[in-house]
Amino acid sequence: MKVIPGPASRELGEKIARLSGFERITVAYKVFPDGENYVRLEGNVQNDHVAIVQTTSAPQDTNLMQLAFIAAAAKRNAAQKVTAVIPYLAYARQDKVFLKGENANIETLAAMLHTAGVDDLITVNVHSEKALGKFPFPAANLTAIPLLAEHFVLSGFKEAFALAPDKGAMYIAEQAQRVLGGGAGYLEKQRDPYTGHTTQTGKNLEVKGQKVIIFDDIISTGGTIVGAARILHEQGAKQVFAACVHPLLIGDAEKRILNAGVEEIVGTDSVQRRASKVSLASLISNELKAKQSG
Ligand code: R5P
């Protein structure tokens, strides 16, 4: 196998190549003045199984086009198999038609990658597992939650309470709880399908005097974490932290979260941010090594 770090995940891709021991193929790329993308493989991939590491956070569409072009270039240069490693999978939140007239965007994305030459996919904590069922090829979903929880254990937070900001994320809090060994619970969150506006309510959680870590798959605008932190403080939590797999942290999200009394934000390098304190490199390289030997 050979690893191709894409322009959007160069650092992570290089770490994965180092850890797995697989050869690294670099990509020359540029964006033309009119915004179009150019990519060129700088090594031989003939008869090789290649793994392209390219996250698809913002600018999503540029990152997706680069991924499609790299996959197509690999196939054009006689790669035997192309695995797309997409740590953050864009458009997974639109995994179905919610309102008449919409598109199920993830289906279009899957078809596009298939046409480009992708044979299988590895992603991490995809927002909707159902989204992966829309791919016309095998798609594996890894979880980075135990790695995030281990980070907190190593920082002295064993037995901290793991909180999911909504019921759908309870599986995430439970994965964290297995590592942390403390309590776990969730908040109720309702979303208006037209405006996207959310409201959160706290049940009686046993967080008084506790160290609490809010675990989520994505932090985008930070609104969910800010709302959860407010409820936790009202219920007497002693310290509040936030952990997520995909720290999109749009605009001033980080500042808003810290201003809401969250002591630290811990994310992974699925998206490279100041909060990316946990690397996905070991998780992904182990998966690639297993693929290679399987
Ligand atoms: C939604 O269901 C996700 O799991 C996250 O809770 C959400 O994407 C976070 O968004 P924001 O940071 O904008 O509240």
234-265 per-position pLDDT tens digit: 999 999 999 999 999 999 999 999 999 999 99
pLDDT value of position 26? 98
Spatial separation of the C-alpha atoms in residues 48 and 43, rounded to whole Å: 11
The closest-lying atom of ligand 1 relative to the alpha carbon of residue 189 is 2
Q: Give the tens place of pLDDT for each residue, 167-205.
A: 999 999 999 999 999 999 999 878 787 887 878 887 778
The closest-lying atom of ligand 1 relative to the alpha carbon of residue 219 is 12
List active site positions.
189
CB 223 within 8 A of CB 231: no
Helix ranges, the chain (H): 10-20, 60-76, 105-116, 129-132, 145-154, 170-180, 223-234, 253-259, 281-293
pLDDT value of position 191? 79
Sign of CA pseudo-dihedral 149, 150, 153, 155: negative
* pTM for this prediction: 0.94
pLDDT value of position 205? 86
Best mutation site among 94, 188, 218 for ligand 1 pocket (most ligand atoms within 8 Å of CB): 218
65 by DSSP, 3-state: which? Answer: helix
CB 74 within 8 A of CB 83: no
pLDDT value of position 39? 98
pLDDT value of position 160? 98
CB 1 within 8 A of CB 22: yes
Residue 200 Cβ inside 6 Å of ligand 1? The answer reads no
The chain-wide mean pLDDT, for the chain, equals: 96
Distance of CA 65 to the CA centre of its chain: 18
User: Which residues of the chain fall below pLDDT 50?
Assistant: none
Sign of CA pseudo-dihedral 141, 247, 62, 286: negative
